[in-house]
Chains A and B, each alone.
Chain A
Amino acid sequence: MKREKKKKAYSIEIISYYTGYIIFIISSLMIIPAVVSLFFREWSAMLDFVISSSISFIFGLALTMFGLRTRESKSNVHWKHGFAVAAFSWLVLTVLCAIPYSLSGHTQSFLDACFDVMSGFTTTGLVLLQDLDHISNGLNMWRHMLTFIGGQGMIVLGLTFLVKETGGAYKMYVAEGKDIELLPNVKGTARQIWKISIVYLVIGTVVLWIIGMIIGLNPISALFHGFYIFQSAWSTGGFAPNSQNIMYYHSIMYETVSMILFILGSLNFGLHYAIWQGKRKEVVKNIETQSFFITSFTVCILALAGLSRLHIYPDAVAGFRRIIFNVLSAHTTTGFGAVYARQFINEWGDFGVLIMVIAMLIGGSACSTAGGFKGLRVGIVFKGLIMDVKKLLTSERNMKVYKFHYIKERVLDDVLIKSSAIIIICYIVIFSIGTLLGTYYGYSLSDSAFEAASVTGNVGLSGGVTTPSMPVLLKVYYIIAMYLGRLEFLTVFALIGYIIGGIKKYVKNR
């Protein structure tokens, strides 16, 4: 009997145990929107969250119990388990977190609800919810919480609550697209990520709350709007409580503070931590900030030059609020829109749209809340190119080690350049398929490319393709593209490989 107990758990049990644990944590967070609904006396919305959290709780607990032998036998978590847990949790949670959306009656189908949840988790910000101006405070809270949780990472949140460090924690953490080690242990790193975010959350919400009151919102409403917009900006999500997005506020102050917040949110947590530690020079030396500064400066100048030729905006203030804001919103993969979706396509011209597509694909920093290729990879590939040119021009006997600065000095080798280039190619493939699919359904090339870049880079700006009436296959593809883009491909590929391997094994054993 005792020997049987010590038998190592099967892989499926390990995956089930940790997935259940993460679902358990996220489902308990549904209490917050339920309390908000209770506060505003939104009874129906409150019950939606009671039902959803109970279902999630039961499901999470069932998975944990199925994999209970993992804890009992102290089974080791391998890389394949870590990747499968991350990819599987994201999928299951997308379905479970879509229940309150669906129960609210503001979605046309359950697929639309899943689309919005995936859009929130991946900090994309595209919306299929209908009649956004009449949704409950509870659901608004949930939408913005999802984007905030998704930005920092659901696994990161789960690891924060770990009682003791487990060997597999690091593998699950890396699988969610984060690899920075702020502290020697993963639990400490996860907690540090949340600490950084919570400090910014308090400061950002208070600033937006004050501005909200100055621009005419009532104090309670200003507080909630501030809280929502902060979560959206910091997570580079792009959701807003009203259908006009950031244009609802008609305020340069609100837009500027949001812009500062989403730029900060798009920076690496490692960089924030280094600055907290007093290493201010890191901002200048870091390859990612250098890359971000160069690319954002270039795209802003090009967009300003291109749009000033078309005489789209009357003056410099308009240029700042409509061009710089939107371009940086695209580049940081936030997706706050300071013009209407159709204005990008109808007024910005092909050049403007192309600049936006490039900005959206490049994205923000690695190990931040942003999406896209990431500045780090762009910087590495660019430096790699320079390295190769230099090697060609110098003597073969001259063996020089090339380095780059990313939190610390690192050696630039071919393996790193290759892995960065592979991920960039994966993004381009997903973007190309999305564009192709859009054109197949009759959307123009610029519409299709704009939307495909937006979903691939987890941005959330729309050219008007994303509507509840869009083709089902396109919705499904966009969900997959957002998911792949956020988890940076390998995690999802590992899950697919794991499932195929399992099926093969099953067929073989029959």
Chain B
Amino acid sequence: MLRIVKAIFLVMIFIFVFPLNTSAQDLISINDMIENAKEYDGKHVTIQGEVIGECLERGEYSWININDGTNAIGIWLKNSDTKSIKYYGNYKYRGDIIKIKGIFNRACKEHGGEPDIHNISFEKIKSGFYIQENVSAAKIFVSIVFVISALLMFLFYYKVFRVEKGIK
């Protein structure tokens, strides 16, 4: 009996110390997940990235898209989870950085075979911000120079055109 208890104890240690499945704690890049989609299919995964675009509400749930710098993927989550997201990344904003723990589906049955992640837990790591657009003085100067050059060129062309047509 004691031998069996010892064996179970050892097995339990092995399971916890050397897990066969990927731990949900380990961050995975989206590209790695896609590259090894069959391996990760149906497993718990953790990804971290910027929320981009906008929130697409579908009833009680929503889609958000996360870009981790390697690729982007859709996250299916409850509407209540999206409330804490303030910034969605686009030209003017750097989106919130969030950490998602969820189940990766290589070809989600619920969503027409789409590769997605169904959210289990959600954590905001860093808030997004407004990207201050810096227009350099050099760019403004170059623009003015080219616009004036184009206008002068057009005037010259117009003059040549008039001469050619015999208009004084």
A residues engaging B (CB < 8 A)?
Answer: 40, 42-45, 47, 50-51, 53-55, 57-58, 61-62, 64-65, 68, 72, 133-137, 215-218, 221, 242-244, 247-250, 252, 312-315, 317-322, 338-340, 342-343, 346-347
Q: Is the CB of A51 within 8 A of B146?
A: yes
Provide the residues of chain A in CB contact with B92, threshold 8 Å. Answer: 40, 42
The 7 residue pairs across chains A and B that have the minimum distance between CB atoms: A318-B113, A216-B56, A54-B146, A321-B112, A54-B150, A133-B52, A314-B109
- Kindly list chain A residues whose C-beta atoms are within 8 Å of the C-beta of B91: 40, 42, 45, 134-137
B24 within 8 A of A: no
Q: Specify which chain B residues have a CB less than 8 angstroms from the CB of A54 in the assembled complex.
A: 143, 146-147, 149-150
Q: A58-B153, A134-B91 known; 14 other A-B pairs, CB under 8 Å?
A: A54-B143, A61-B157, A64-B157, A216-B63, A243-B52, A248-B53, A250-B58, A250-B63, A318-B112, A318-B113, A340-B34, A340-B71, A343-B37, A347-B38
The verdict on A343 contacting B90 (CB below 8 Å), with A57-B150, A243-B71 known, is: no
What residues of chain A lie closer than 8 Å to B38, measured between beta carbons?
A: 346-347
Interchain CA distance A135-B34 in the complex, whole Å: 24
Interchain CA distance A249-B140 in the complex, whole Å: 37
Contact A343 B115, beta carbon cutoff 8 Å: yes
Closest to A242 in B: B53
Contact B114 A247 (CB under 8 A): yes
Task: Report the number of A-B residue pairs with Cβ-Cβ less than 8 Å.
Answer: 142
Q: List 20 A-B contacts (CB under 8 A).
A: A47-B135, A50-B146, A54-B147, A54-B149, A61-B154, A65-B160, A68-B160, A133-B52, A133-B67, A134-B89, A135-B91, A136-B91, A216-B57, A216-B62, A248-B53, A314-B107, A320-B112, A322-B113, A340-B71, A347-B37
| Contact of B58 with A134 in the complex, beta carbons under 8 Å | no
A150 to chain B, nearest CB (A): 24
Residues of chain B contacted by A217 (CB below 8 angstroms): 54, 56
Which residue in chain B gives the minimum CB-CB distance to A71? B164
Kindly state the separation between the CA atoms of A322 and B147 in the bound complex, as whole angstroms: 48
Residue B83 is within 8 A (CB to CB) of chain A in the complex: no
- What residues of B have a CB within 8 angstroms of the CB of A242 in the complex? 52-53, 65, 72
Which residues 34-72 of B have a CB within 8 angstroms of A? Answer: 34-35, 37-38, 52-58, 62-63, 65, 67, 71-72
Give A50 to B143 CA distance when docked, in angstroms: 6
In the complex the two chains form, is B67's CB within 8 Å of A215's CB? no
Main secondary structure of the interface of A (DSSP, over half): helix
A386 CB → nearest B CB, Å: 39
The reply to whether A319 and B113 form a contact with Cβ atoms under 8 Å apart is: yes
Q: Which residues of B have CB within 8 Å of A249?
A: 56
Interface residues of B (CB under 8 A from A): 31, 34-35, 37-38, 52-58, 62-63, 65, 67, 71-74, 89-92, 106-107, 109, 111-116, 133-135, 139-140, 142-143, 146-147, 149-150, 153-154, 157, 160, 164
- Measured in the bound complex, the distance between the Cα atoms of B81 and A127 in whole Å is 33
Chain B residues whose CB sits within 8 angstroms of the CB of A45 once the complex forms: 91
- Main SS of chain B's interface residues? mixed
| Contacting pair A317 B164 (CB below 8 A) | no
Q: Which residues of B contact A58 (CB under 8 A)?
A: 146, 149-150, 153
- In the bound assembly, the distance between CA atoms of A352 and B147 in angstroms comes to 52
Q: Which residue of A lies closest to B50 (CB)?
A: A133
> Which residues of A lie under 8 Å from residue B147 when comparing CB positions?
50, 54
Contact B107 A346 (CB under 8 A): no
B112 contacts A322, CB within 8 Å? yes
Min distance, Cβ B135 to any Cβ of chain A, angstroms: 5
**Which of chain A's residues have a CB closer than 8 A to the CB of B58?**
215-216, 250
Do A343 and B34 have beta carbons less than 8 Å apart? yes
Tell me which of B31, B134, B143, B160 has the highest count of chain A C-beta atoms within 10 A of its own C-beta. Answer: B143
Measured in the bound complex, the distance between the Cα atoms of B55 and A173 in whole Å is 45
Residues of chain B contacted by A317 (CB below 8 angstroms)? 112-113
- Min CB distance, B165 to chain A, in Å? 10
With A42-B91, A62-B153, A136-B91 as given contacts, are A248 and B107 in contact (CB-CB < 8 Å)? no
Residues of chain A lying within 8 A (CB to CB) of residue B142:
51
Of B72, B109, B134, which is within 8 A of A243 by CB?
B72
A133 and B53 within 8 A (CB) = yes
* Shortest beta-carbon distance from B2 to chain A in Å: 46
Q: Which of chain B's residues have a CB closer than 8 A to the CB of A215?
A: 56, 58
Contacts of B164 in A (CB 8 A): 68, 72
Give Cα A320–Cα B89 distance, bound, in whole angstroms: 31
Expressed in whole angstroms, the minimum distance between the Cβ of B55 and any Cβ of chain A is 7
Q: How far is the CB of B124 from chain A (nearest CB, A)?
A: 19
Tell me which residues across on chain A come within 8 A of B107, comparing CB atoms.
312-314, 318, 322
